[in-house]
Amino acid sequence: MKFRFLITIVTVFFTKVLFAQTDLAKFKEKETQLRPLAEKIIFANTFETRLEANTDFVKNLVKTLELSNSFQYPFDSLQTISIENAPDNKFRIFTWELQKDDNYFRQYGAIQMN
């Protein structure tokens, strides 16, 4: 009886570890897709290119944040995006800006609930 219980616990543990590794790979891939868009929003030469990158970034970010366990992923390679966690970890805020010209900036953001 104890042996069966032990086998069950070990199986559940390894299943969780396997899913966690799958999630990590999935989020790394998503982050790899988001990073060039985030950089284009800041560094592209034309407003049209920055705007197009921003539109694509918003769509992809929202889809990524809707995935389960995404709150635990840090997205730390998105260097041009500010990510701030609430002190109680109940939510986090992603913010960035889109520059139209020297005098016009538009702020964007997303709130992710834990």
Domain range summary for the chain, segments of one domain joined by +: 2-113
Residue 106's DSSP bridge partners are 98
Task: Provide the whole-model pTM.
Answer: 0.81
pLDDT tens sequence across 40-57: 999 999 999 999 999 999
pLDDT band at 1 (very low <50, low <70, confident <90, very high): low
The tokens for 92 are: 């986090």
* 16/85 Cα distance (integer angstroms): 25
* 84/77 Cα distance (integer angstroms): 14
pLDDT tens sequence across 62-99: 999 999 999 999 999 999 999 999 999 999 999 999 99
pLDDT band at 19 (very low <50, low <70, confident <90, very high): very low
